[in-house]
Structure 1
Amino acid sequence: MKNLLLLVFLVGMVGCREKALSPEELQPLAGKWRLSAVQPAGKNEWEDVTQSGQYQFEIRYDGVILDQNGLPACCAPKYLSVNGKTFTIVPKESLPTNPQCALVSCLACDTWNMDLQGDKLIVSYCEGSGRNRFVKM
């Protein structure tokens, strides 16, 4: 009976384990990404972004989000949810201060939801905020 209870407990623990993204699985995200289209909240159509003033960001090997100048992004998330798996962002090296962040009032979401399909990345930041499509540079 004791062995049966232990087996049920272990199966329950394994079944309830959160799906986590390993650092190795994060590597396809690493690199620079350029905004190519936006899908406003409540709409089903994508709107292409023109070449001038395109937003860019970089995902570092450890999940840290950097802006186009290589500085930590303002209002960056604590977690990435990539194709249904969660990754906790823990910087592996020190980060410089981004002076622009002092000018920004963040209403950031802790988790950025990402759908990675090859060299295309669709990101939704907060529930109901629309989505952005990026292409790898």
Structure 2
Amino acid sequence: MKTPLFSIILLFVLVACEKDSPKPDPEIKTIVGKWKHTAYEKNVNGSNIWVPIDGEPNYIVFRYDGVILDSNGCPNCAPKSYYVNGKLFEVIPKEAISISSQCPIVDCIGCATWDIDQSDNELIVTLCEPSNTKSKYIRE
């Protein structure tokens, strides 16, 4: 009788101790996850067109706290704030970014902010005013 009761109690204790996954900040909950770079905008004869990415695509990952990483969890060249559908979001890391020996050394001279427009499973990321370099991503 003691063994089944002990097993049931142990099961409840283990379930109660299970770590909850962190909840994303409400301002960015729709963009949290992995995104695949599919195209970039190019001006051809005075018109902007989307040019598909050749070769291996790059990925960006928006962590629950807004930190932007690459697909291996390494730091990415990303701003400390960005606009998501017109609303400013300040990135405040809630946990350390683990850097392994596989992570490239990142030395960024980038934009102060990005503009991110999301529509369902597509992101358009605009970098660095006034050049307005645009990239298209789809949710993975």
TM-score between the two structures when normalised by the length of structure 1 = 0.74
In the TM superposition, 1:22-33 aligns within 5 A as 23-33=25-35
Partner of 1:121: 123
What is the deviation of 1:97?
3.2
**Aligned letter for 2:61?**
E
| 1:63 maps onto 2:56 in alignment | no
- Work out which of the two has the higher radius of gyration on C-alpha atoms and give 1 or 2: 2
In the TM superposition, 1:45-60 aligns within 5 A as 45-50=49-54, 52-60=55-63
Q: CA RMSD in A?
A: 1.9
Distance 2:85 2:64 in 1: 18
Relative CO higher for 1 or 2, CA cutoff 8 Å, sep ≥ 6?
1
Please identify which structure carries the higher strand content.
2
What is the deviation of 1:92?
0.6
Look up the SS of the partner of 2:29 in the other structure: helix
Contact 1:77 1:111 in 2 (8 A): yes
**Aligned letter for 1:83?**
N
Distance 1:77 1:106 in 2: 9
* Matched positions, count: 112
What is the deviation of 1:71?
1.2
Percentage identity across paired residues of the two chains: 38
TM-score between the two structures when normalised by the length of structure 2 = 0.72
Contact 1:40 1:129 in 2 (8 A): no
Distance 1:108 1:119 in 2: 25
The unaligned stretches of length 5 or more in structure 2 are 1-23
What is the deviation of 1:105?
4.2
The unaligned stretches of length 5 or more in structure 1 are 1-21
